[in-house]
Amino acid sequence: MNRAETLERLRSQRFDLLVVGAGIIGSRIAYEAAREGAQVALVDAGDFGAATSSASSKLIHGGLRYLEMGDLKLVREAHLERRALLDRVAPHLVRPLPFVVPVYRGGPHRASAIAAGLFLYSALSGFRRSRGRLIAADRAPDWVPPVRTSGMRWAGFYMDAQTHDSRLVLATVTGAARAGAAVLNHSPVVALEALDGRLAAAEVAAPEGAISVRADHFINAAGPWVDAVRRLEDPAAAPIARLSKGVHLTLEPLGPPWAAALTVMLSGGRVSFAVPWEGMLLLGTTDTDYEGDPGAVSVTEADVAEVLDEASIGLPPEVIARDRIRYRFAGLRALPLTGGASSAAPREEVMRVGPLGMVSVAGGKLTTHRRIATKVLWRLDRFRSVRFGDEPLPGGGPPPARPASIEPDVWEHLVHLYGSEAPDVVARDGLERVHPGGPDVWAQAAHAVASEWALTVDDVVRRRTTLEIRGLATPEVRREIARRCNLAPP
**Residue (24 or 461) nearer to ligand FAD, CB:** 24
Which residues 6+ apart lie within 8 Å of 465 measured at CB?
A: 417, 434, 440, 444, 445, 448
Per-residue b or e along 280-312, where b marks 16 or more CB atoms closer than 10 Å to that residue's CB: bbbbbbbbbebeeebeebebeeebbebbbebbe
Which residue in 45, 262, 448, 454 binds ligand FAD (CB under 6 A)? 45
Look at residue 205 and give its three-state secondary structure: strand
The pattern of x and - marking residues 337 through 366 that bind ligand FAD according to CB under 6 A reads -------------------------xxxxx
Q: Is 181 in the site for ligand FAD (CB under 6 A)?
A: no
Which residue in 21, 396, 419, 471 binds ligand FAD (CB under 6 A)? 21
The nearest distance, CB 475 to ligand FAD, in angstroms, is: 26
Q: Length of the chain in residues, anyone?
A: 490
Looking at residue 236, its amino acid is A
Sign of CA dihedral 415, 418, 419, 421: negative
The nearest distance, CB 68 to ligand FAD, in angstroms, is: 16
Per-residue b or e along 120-136, where b marks 16 or more CB atoms closer than 10 Å to that residue's CB: ebbebbebeeeebebee
Q: Is 246 in the site for ligand FAD (CB under 6 A)?
A: yes
Which residue in 17, 33, 34, 51 binds ligand FAD (CB under 6 A)? 51
Q: What is the DSSP letter of 85?
A: I
**CA 334 to CA 362: how far, in whole Å?**
6
Q: Is 333 in the site for ligand FAD (CB under 6 A)?
A: yes
The pattern of x and - marking residues 59 through 98 that bind ligand FAD according to CB under 6 A reads x-x-------------------------------------
**Residue (126 or 145) nearer to ligand FAD, CB:** 126
Q: Is 223 in the site for ligand FAD (CB under 6 A)?
A: yes
Q: Is 222 in the site for ligand FAD (CB under 6 A)?
A: yes
Which residue in 32, 42, 46, 470 binds ligand FAD (CB under 6 A)? 46
Q: What DSSP assignment string belongs to 451-473?
A: HS---SHHIIIIIISSTTTTT--
* Site size toward ligand FAD, by CB under 6 A: 40
**Residue (45 or 182) nearer to ligand FAD, CB:** 45
Phi, psi (degrees; rounded to nearest 5) at 253: -70, 155
**Residue (272 or 411) nearer to ligand FAD, CB:** 272
**Residue (273 or 418) nearer to ligand FAD, CB:** 273
Secondary element (H or E) of residue 26: helix 24-35
**Residue (60 or 155) nearer to ligand FAD, CB:** 60
Which residue in 103, 118, 161, 221 binds ligand FAD (CB under 6 A)? 221
Look at residue 253 and give its three-state secondary structure: coil
The nearest distance, CB 431 to ligand FAD, in angstroms, is: 31
Q: Is 224 in the site for ligand FAD (CB under 6 A)?
A: yes
Phi, psi (degrees; rounded to nearest 5) at 294: -60, -30
Q: What DSSP assignment string belongs to 289-311?
A: EE-S-GGG----HHHHHHHHHHH
Which residue in 38, 40, 43, 376 binds ligand FAD (CB under 6 A)? 43
β pairing state of 189-195 and 241-251: unpaired
Give 389's Cβ-side CA count (13 Å radius): 9
Q: What DSSP assignment string belongs to 351-401?
A: EEE-TTS-EEEE-S-STTHHHHHHHHHHTSGGGTT-----PPPTT-SPPPP
**Residue (224 or 439) nearer to ligand FAD, CB:** 224
Stretch that binds ligand FAD, among 208-216, 262-270, 329-337, 388-396 (CB under 6 A): 329-337
**Residue (377 or 426) nearer to ligand FAD, CB:** 377
Q: Is 161 in the site for ligand FAD (CB under 6 A)?
A: no
Q: Which residues of this protein are in contact with ligand FAD, per CB under 6 A?
A: 20-26, 43-46, 50-53, 55-59, 61, 188-189, 221-225, 229, 246, 285, 331-333, 362-367
